[in-house]
Every structure is written in structure tokens, then in C-alpha cells.
């Protein structure tokens, strides 16, 4: 037998990161919107709890994440955990612009042979800039709606604009009243209150999150055996990236929330008040809820995002991806 004639199959060079040009966009966009809505729906209660913990002074109303959940559920019912959700869900539209910007910038930088982690960092920041410009007015409304809540059956915990509580009123009626109040007080500018704080919080947050995601992904691929699922490694990298970014940016997120809800005029004043109220605790205020939210959100988003990329990949690349 002539062993020299035996064909030996070359090991495949699997694609670790599915790039923008490799995907069928007609599949990617609808599936991406569905995935984003599902994740936001599942994790919205954590967002609401995080916001209330950040805005309260000291621990005057809630002593922590579990206490907040218990009180909200007891006095406001399950629907209390979803106050403002229908306005917040508009984020799935801004999400399309966000991910298009992210992937588009990465694609442009890839042509210039920029390092993958730097591409992710820059693209993440640009994507957040576009996304926040679209979503801030809806964010302002949803956060005010989140804050209209009760400590007990008699006392309203948060109500900065004097809006009557939800009891006996439709969501549309409360939202319209809130919109009218904001416009009467500040005009159109009121719907962009905290815009610069949002950019200061979310642009670094997005840039760091994507940067750390690709950093952890590359490092994990080096140390984890090749037979381990690529999707598992990516979700682990996303979770680690979420943890790291949240710890770094937590004070900026508190400032953004307070500017938008408490009508404070500047970031400097918010930082000053936070320092007076909390001291060094300002760095950990609401952090437990935000870490849980971030880890769960990061895991879920990457699981959905990378799965959808695999489902949407063009046929010519299908044999070069691993689940």
C-alpha cells in the first residue's frame, strides 16, 4: 500500500470571532432585536432595584437588594418590579443602531489592521455614543416611572415631580402626566437631563465592557483546552468583562441616575453631595444589585449575541465555526 497517497485531513482553523461581513443581516437584525427584548424583560427588575438603591440617601428606604425586592413586591405587587418597562423597551430600537455602529466601526478598523482589543474598545465607545443619543429621553422617563413607588401602603418613597402614585391609573396616563410635567419645567432640554452624565457613564462602560470581553476571550482561549465549547468561553469572558467594568464605573452610574431623577444641576454637585452623604461608600452604593445585574446581563447578552451570529453566518463560513 502506498501510504504517501493517503489523504490526511488538515485540522480546521476555526473562527473565534465572527465578523460583520460574514453574516446574513436579514437574519441577524430580527433575531438580535428579539434576543435583546427577551433579556431586558427578564432582567428589568434588577435595573429598577439598582436605580432605587442608587438614588436613596444612605439606606433610608431599602437596606439592600433583597430588602428592596421584598418591599417592592409586598407593597407594589409583581407589576411594581416592571414600572417604566414599556418605555424602557424602546431600547431594542436603539440597540439596532448600537450594534450596527459597533460592528461597523470594528469592520472599518479591521481593514486598518488595528488590534482586536483596541477595535472593540473604540467601537464600544462609538456605539454607546450613538445609542445614548437616541435613548436618553426614554431613559429619563423610564427612570422617573421606576421611582414612583411606595415604602408601605401609606407613604410614597420616591416622587420627585409630585406625580400621583400608580394606584387606579393607567400606565399611559401616568406617563403622559410625567411627560407634561418635565416639558413644563424644562422644555425639550428636560428630556436630555443628564445627557452628558449618561455619556460619561455609558461610553466608558461600553468601551471597557467590549474591550475586556475581547481581552478575557483571548486569554481564556490560550488556557482552556481546544475541545471546550467556544460559546461557553465567550459567555464566561462576557461575564468577567461585566464584573470588571461594573466595579470601575459604578460611581459614574450613580451620578447619571441622580442627575436624571433628582434634577440636580451638575455632575460636580452630585459628586459633592454623594461624598458628603456616603464618603467612600459612594463607590459601593447599589453595587451588589449592579454586579448581579451586570453579570446576568453580560452572560445573557453574549449568549444571545454569539448564538445569533452563528445562526446568521453565511454558508461559506459555516464549517469554520464551533459551538
Summarised one tens digit per residue, pLDDT across range 279-320 is 766 666 667 777 887 888 888 888 988 898 988 888 888 888
Question: What is the number of other CB atoms lying within 10 angstroms of the CB of residue 195?
Answer: 19
| 303 neighbors 235 (Cβ within 8 angstroms) | yes
CATH number for 19-320: choose from 1.50.40.10, 1.10.510.10, 1.20.120.140, 3.30.1650.10: 1.50.40.10
Residue 12: all three cell numbers together:
480546521
**At a CB cut-off of 8 Å and minimum separation 6, what does 276 contact?**
none
Residues of the chain with pLDDT under 50: 1-11
Which residues face 149 on adjacent strands? 158
Residue 244: all three cell numbers together:
470588571
Determine the 3-state secondary structure of 149 from DSSP.
Answer: strand
Degrees to nearest 5, angle at CA 294 with 278 and 135: 90
pLDDT for res 216: 92
pLDDT for res 151: 58
CA distance 205 to 210: 9
pLDDT for res 22: 84
| 232 neighbors 238 (Cβ within 8 angstroms) | no
The string of DSSP letters for 26-92 reads HHHHHHHHHHHHHHHHHHHHHHHHHHHHHHSSTTSS-SSHHHHHHHHHHHH-GGGGGTTHHHHTTHH
Determine the 3-state secondary structure of 6 from DSSP.
Answer: coil
pTM above 0.95, yes or no: no
Summarised one tens digit per residue, pLDDT across range 75-86 is 888 888 888 888
Amino acid at each position: 500500500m502506498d501510504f504517501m497517497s493517503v489523504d490526511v485531513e488538515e485540522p480546521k482553523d476555526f473562527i473565534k470571532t465572527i465578523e460583520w461581513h460574514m453574516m446574513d443581516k436579514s437574519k441577524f437584525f430580527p433575531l438580535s432585536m428579539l434576543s435583546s427584548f427577551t433579556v431586558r424583560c427578564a432582567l428589568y427588575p434588577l435595573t429598577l432595584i439598582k436605580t432605587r438603591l442608587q438614588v436613596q440617601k444612605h439606606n433610608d428606604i431599602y437596606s439592600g437588594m433583597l430588602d428592596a425586592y421584598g418591599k417592592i413586591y409586598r407593597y407594589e405587587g409583581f407589576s411594581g418590579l416592571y414600572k417604566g418597562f414599556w418605555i424602557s423597551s424602546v431600547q431594542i430600537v436603539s440597540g439596532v443602531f448600537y450594534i450596527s455602529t459597533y460592528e461597523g466601526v470594528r469592520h472599518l478598523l479591521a481593514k486598518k489592521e488595528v488590534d482586536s482589543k483596541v477595535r472593540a474598545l473604540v467601537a464600544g465607545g462609538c456605539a454607546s455614543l450613538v445609542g445614548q443619543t437616541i435613548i436618553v429621553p426614554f431613559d429619563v422617563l423610564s427612570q422617573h416611572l421606576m421611582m414612583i413607588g411606595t415604602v408601605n401602603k401609606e407613604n410614597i418613597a420616591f416622587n420627585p415631580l409630585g406625580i400621583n402614585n400608580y394606584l387606579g391609573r393607567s400606565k399611559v396616563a401616568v406617563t403622559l402626566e410625567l411627560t407634561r410635567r418635565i416639558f413644563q419645567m424644562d422644555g425639550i432640554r428636560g428630556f436630555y437631563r443628564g445627557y452628558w452624565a449618561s455619556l460619561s457613564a455609558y461610553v466608558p462602560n461600553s468601551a471597557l465592557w467590549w474591550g475586556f470581553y475581547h481581552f478575557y476571550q483571548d486569554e481564556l482561549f490560550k488556557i482552556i483546552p481546544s475541545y471546550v465549547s467556544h460559546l461557553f468561553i465567550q459567555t464566561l469572558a462576557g461575564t468577567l468583562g461585566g464584573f470588571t467594568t461594573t466595579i470601575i464605573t459604578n460611581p459614574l452610574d450613580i451620578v447619571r441616575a441622580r442627575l436624571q431623577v433628582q434634577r440636580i444641576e451638575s455632575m460636580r454637585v452630585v459628586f459633592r453631595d454623594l461624598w458628603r452623604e456616603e464618603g467612600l461608600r459612594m463607590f459601593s452604593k447599589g453595587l451588589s444589585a449592579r454586579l448581579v445585574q451586570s453579570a446576568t446581563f453580560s452572560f445573557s447578552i453574549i449568549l444571545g449575541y454569539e448564538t445569533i451570529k452563528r445562526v446568521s453566518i453565511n454558508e461559506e463560513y459555516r464549517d469554520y465555526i464551533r459551538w
